[in-house]
Amino acid sequence: MMNSLAGKVALVTGGSRGIGAAIARKLVRAGADVAITYVNSRTKADEVLADMESVGRRGLAIQADSAISADVEQAVKRVAETFGKLDILVNNAGIFPFGPIEHVSADEFDRTMAIHAKAVFVAIQTAVPYMSVGGRIISIGSCLADRVPGPGFSLYSMSKSALTGLTKGLARDLGPLGITVNVIHPGPIDTDMNPADGEGSEGEKSLTALGHYGTTDDIASMALHLAGQTGRFITGSAFAVDGGYAV
């Protein structure tokens, strides 16, 4: 019961699939009412909502493109207006740009930074007025923020490493309000975007200390830890849940 979230309201961006969906389901099962955002996967979003309703919780799916600041701002406001407050914000929405730096277009750069950095900033800025003491802000980064094992990751790694600096700064800004801010850096996680049996997966496994992929539940469990009472004295921290990828 230490991590019971009964009476809490959460928003998980990019919550219709993969890590985001796992986090949404984990928070719901801990007692929270949960809203998610999605871009195109309405069918997937409906599946997550059905899971919420099956355990008697309230859910909400909002179509929002995290590359568009107005979408992010309106999504946060809609959650607060619908449920009356916002206790937990999980910034999860992301993309995976890959390729040599000389091939990165200005549009790709702008979209990546908009989704991975600006959207997080805007969501937090919009959410804070609706949060009270005990509020939780959790962002999903990447093991590639700390270790880059080969070429082609420069833009992605830069965009995700920005979250660590933002987290540390916001911990100081929001600590006096009783709001904690942390970032989780996942390693190779078995999702439809990066399947454990996909092309290149053996190489990724070899880069971990444990020699295998993690699951979305591994990340969701850390998110629950930070969102619940067990995370009340943790802020400004970056947590590697990566099977030893970055050691």
State the catalytic residues.
156
* 23 alpha-carbon distance from chain centroid: 8
- CA 100/CA 108 separation, integer angstroms: 12
Contact (Cβ atoms closer than 8 angstroms) between residue 167 and residue 212? no
- CA 99/CA 155 separation, integer angstroms: 9
- CA 3/CA 247 separation, integer angstroms: 29
Tokens of 110: 């702008």
- CA 182/CA 141 separation, integer angstroms: 10
Q: Please, what is the angle between helix 154-174 and helix 106-113, to 10°? A: 30
- CA 227/CA 147 separation, integer angstroms: 26
Longest dimension (CA), the chain: 52
